[in-house]
Amino acid sequence: MSAVTIARPQELAIPAPARMSLLLLAPGLLILLSIFALPLLGLVLESLKQYVPGRVGSAVDASLTLENYRELATPSFAGVLYETFKLSAAASLAGLMAAFPLAYCIVRRFSPRQRAACIGLLVMLVLLSMLVRTYALELAFGSVGIARPLLLALGISPTSRGYIEVLVEAGLLHAVMPICTLTLLGTIQNIDPRLCDAAQSLGAPAWKAHLGITVPLALPGLVSAFLIAMTFAISAFVIPMVLGKGRVLFLSNTIYTRFSDVANYPSGAAVSIAMLVISLLVLSLASLAHRGKGARS
């Protein structure tokens, strides 16, 4: 007959280091719960309520419904969703392609003084108000900007949809490029430059050594920079609102319209939850695809 082991009270107690860790984490967890989890839960509950016309938001005793989510299956919402991710992905890729050589030059080619100046400039661009940067682009390349005569001379209409999409992408690129560059600085700095020197000493051209060694080793940082840029781009609000001129809308603009102009809080909450889920799904799939590729290699 096997003996039954009874745990002593002191064996069931939480160890002192674990208790200290919980005490240190408690303030942060409470703040996270109060400013993120609870508002998100309220947003989910609001998205399931029925909208009452003439009211600001839903009624207190409104019945639960999925009608707000069924409205998201309309072609108009699909068009806004496609526009958001198309322009965001294009701007993120362009920003990544421009940021990688810039970060490489800052780390490998510039002197310490030049490196400090470039990093300071990039930090200043990140901290500069997005509204100021967006209106600067509008005054330079907008429909009434200083570049208008040049655009007309080239046969480009400043009010055409194609040009407005390019202008919105330029605004997103202006925002994500400093972020991508700062993200890639540490990645490139952690790559041993002697690896490329060894490859070139064995007869490989500089471009081939760079593409065969530096780029593969920097791939995790490139994926991280792209995901950060994509996260910022798909949630952009000021850039499509100012530069899009009502013809190019992002999901963030749709959410603002539902909450502010129409006062349809349930519909705005449903769009917000849909945007959150789709964004997390896309970013998770991109991250998993990169991990799967890294595991196979």
Asked whether residue 214 is domain-assigned, the answer is yes
Asked whether residue 179 is domain-assigned, the answer is yes
In the chain, % of residues over pLDDT 90: 26
Write the CATH number for 166: 1.10.3720.10
pLDDT value for 295:
54
Asked whether residue 206 is domain-assigned, the answer is yes
What is the DSSP-derived secondary structure letter of residue 5?
Answer: P
Tell me the residue range of the domain where 231 lies. 95-236
Domain count, the chain: 1
Asked whether residue 259 is domain-assigned, the answer is no
Asked whether residue 260 is domain-assigned, the answer is no
CA dist., res. 233 & res. 240, Å (int)? 10
Asked whether residue 250 is domain-assigned, the answer is no
CA dist., res. 280 & res. 15, Å (int)? 36
- Helices in 154-264 by DSSP H: which ranges? 161-189, 194-201, 206-209, 215-217, 219-234, 238-243, 251-256
Residue 64 DSSP SS3: strand
Angle at 280 between CA 251 and CA 22, to 5 degrees: 125
Low-confidence ranges of the chain (pLDDT < 50): 1-2, 11
Q: Exposed, middle or buried by CB within 10 Å (0-12, 13-18, 19+), for 231?
A: middle
Say which amino acid occupies 276: L
Does residue 273 contact residue 64 with C-beta atoms inside 8 Å? no
Asked whether residue 134 is domain-assigned, the answer is yes
* Tens of pLDDT, residues 209-254: 888 888 888 988 898 899 889 989 998 999 999 998 888 889 899 8
pLDDT value for 5:
54
pLDDT value for 15:
67
Angle at 87 between CA 294 and CA 140, to 5 degrees: 130
CA dist., res. 93 & res. 177, Å (int)? 10
User: 92 — alpha (psi -120 to 50), left (phi > 0) or beta?
Assistant: alpha
Q: For residue 23, what are its two tokens?
A: 């005490």
Asked whether residue 81 is domain-assigned, the answer is no
Q: Which candidate, 68, 17, 25, places its Cα nearest to that of 47?
A: 68
| pTM score, whole prediction | 0.80
pLDDT value for 90:
93
pLDDT value for 96:
94
Token look-up 């309309």 returns: 74
CA dist., res. 136 & res. 140, Å (int)? 6
